[in-house]
Amino acid sequence: MKITKIISVFIVLIITSLGLNLNAQTKAPEPKCGFALTKKIIQHHLIYPLEALDKKGGKITVYYDVDADGNASNYRVENAFNEQCAAEAIRLVKMIEWNPALKNGKPTAFNDYYTVEFSPKSYKKSEEKNPRLMLPEQEYPAQKSNMIYNLKDLHQTPRPYFANPQVTMAAYLRTNLQFPEQAKEFEIQGTVTLSFVVETDGRASNIMVENSVGGGCDNEAIRLIQNMVWIPGVKNDSLVRTRTTQDITFQIGERNYHEGNKY
């Protein structure tokens, strides 16, 4: 009886100890829009340095510090295979907004890193298959600060840029929106609201779903925003990073899908 009691107490102590150890573990910072989407955004923003395109690629790890508020600083690279690629990797990683690390469930400072892969072969293939739309040269230079501004703080707000100046946002969405199969099948409709940052290179980063519709509509809305280019916001004669939102509506016509509606 005593042996059984001793064993029971021992097991309880082990379980308690494990629980304390688990609670004491620190959860590393995470991108606000998630790792999977962040990886796609990084790839979409990456501009391969021309002088490195004919050389061997590789991975570059960017180190940085994230404080308890999620603010990152002190970006640095060690042992990069190419200096130009290292500079591009830092530029890309500086775009990411972070949720802070957690220790015992509370925000804490953390030394972290993010790895960017450079593949000249994949980059060339992607550009040949689907050349990305580039912004024309802008009147103002990009602000060196990494600060993100709200629309009310700007002298000029971001606006969509299309190669054909006659194209409007509404026309772009009508032409490019692909109604998801799942949404068709279950007749899901509604308005997806996305928040994102328009970077000084004209592309969206840190895309987050503020109002979800489901049925694949959220992912389709993200795809549409990812493929767009914007004239960046302007403050004090400088291009700046700007936080903005966009509604994208998925609407079923008078006839439902099963009656032949092509959307």
> Residue ranges of the domains in the chain?
28-129, 148-259
Structure tokens at 196: 């994102």
pLDDT of residue 252: 86
28-129 and 148-259 agree in CATH topology: yes
The arrangement of strands across the sheet holding 101-103 comes to 26-27, 101-103, 106-108
Q: How many CB atoms lie within 10 A of CB 217?
A: 24
Residue 149 β-bridge partners: 242
pLDDT of residue 15: 44
User: Three-state SS for 21?
Assistant: helix
pLDDT of residue 253: 74
Tens digits of residue pLDDT in 217-244: 999 999 999 999 999 999 999 999 999 9
Taking a C-beta distance cutoff of 8 angstroms, is the pair 148, 241 a contact? yes
pLDDT of residue 258: 47
Residues of the chain with pLDDT under 70: 1-24, 254-263
Class of domain 148-259: alpha beta
Q: Which residues contact 28 (CB under 8 A, 6 or more apart)?
A: 101, 110, 112
Fold of 28-129: TolA/TonB C-terminal domain (3.30.2420)
% the chain with pLDDT above 90: 84
Structure tokens at 17: 């100890």
Taking a C-beta distance cutoff of 8 angstroms, is the pair 207, 226 a contact? yes
Q: Which DSSP helix (H) or strand (E) runs through 240?
A: strand 238-250
Taking a C-beta distance cutoff of 8 angstroms, is the pair 98, 107 a contact? no
Predicted TM-score (pTM) of this structure: 0.86
